[in-house]
Amino acid sequence: MSDDGLRELLVRWQAGWATARDYRSGVDGEVVTVDIGLPDRMTETIVLSTDPELYELVAERVAEPGHWLTAPTADRARTEVAAAGAGFTPVPPEWLMSRPLDDHPRHEPPDGYETWLSGREPMIVAEVVTTGGPDARTLAAKGHLALSGEGADAVADRIFTVPEHRRRGLGSVVMGALTTAARERGARHGLLVASQDGRRLYERLGWRVEAQMATARWTGNGAPAAPAGAVA
């Protein structure tokens, strides 16, 4: 993918991601600044290029407590060295992924589960809950999706399955419900950033990796990334 094409996808993804989490964001040249407001994650800067020299400059500029830094990378090792040099500690890698929605698979929940849809535009929320017995309506899996780009983009976020309900295909059920609802509302293209575990799920559903993403949080001293976490 060209640099311009990647930049466009990143701008579109972050617009939906910020909507999904009720963050404020603004594009300024080759970076996006996202106001998150959490004590340990006040601000996140997203670099819109794989240029390692630009990444190094931005890392030095935003190195301060509460700051996170994200960028697409073609050389993760070099990116992590640059992050550590500015006092950032890398977190496990993620991947920017995309998919047309016209033929996204939809899966019915297995026996013992049902799907609930809720949310007010531009948000769609899908939940898979248990049915029957004393544990009826217990949450088993959930996901969020924001419509952005005048409704043409569907940005999935916070897709997860409760540990005791994993390996039953519920992540696929959630994604199918979200993308079907988004398509019915006019969305044509899906975007998301996936963790390592999430990437495996989305690839099975036909999503394509567009770029590896490197994220780091400012700690004052660089350190290796922690082990990979749950589905993003």
Tokens representing 101 are: 């929605």
Report whether 18 contacts 149 (CB < 8 A): no
Cα–Cα distance between 47 and 70 in angstroms, integer?
Answer: 6
Tokens representing 222 are: 């660089």
User: E-assigned strands of the chain?
Assistant: 24-28, 31-38, 41-47, 67-73, 88-90, 94-100, 113-118, 123-130, 139-148, 153-161, 189-194, 208-218
Domains assigned to the chain:
3-95+211-218 (no CATH), 102-187 (3.40.630.30)
Report whether 26 contacts 32 (CB < 8 A): yes
CA distances from 196 to 96, 160, 187 (A): 11, 13, 26
Q: What is the pLDDT of residue 221?
A: 85
Q: Give the residues across from 113 on adjacent strands.
A: 130
Q: What is the pLDDT of residue 228?
A: 44
CB atoms < 10 A from the CB of 2, how many? 7
Segments in the chain below pLDDT 50: 227-232
Q: What is the pLDDT of residue 225?
A: 54
Cα–Cα distance between 174 and 152 in angstroms, integer?
Answer: 20
**Which pTM was predicted?**
0.93
Strand bridging mode 67-73 / 41-47: parallel
H helix and E strand count, the chain: 5, 12
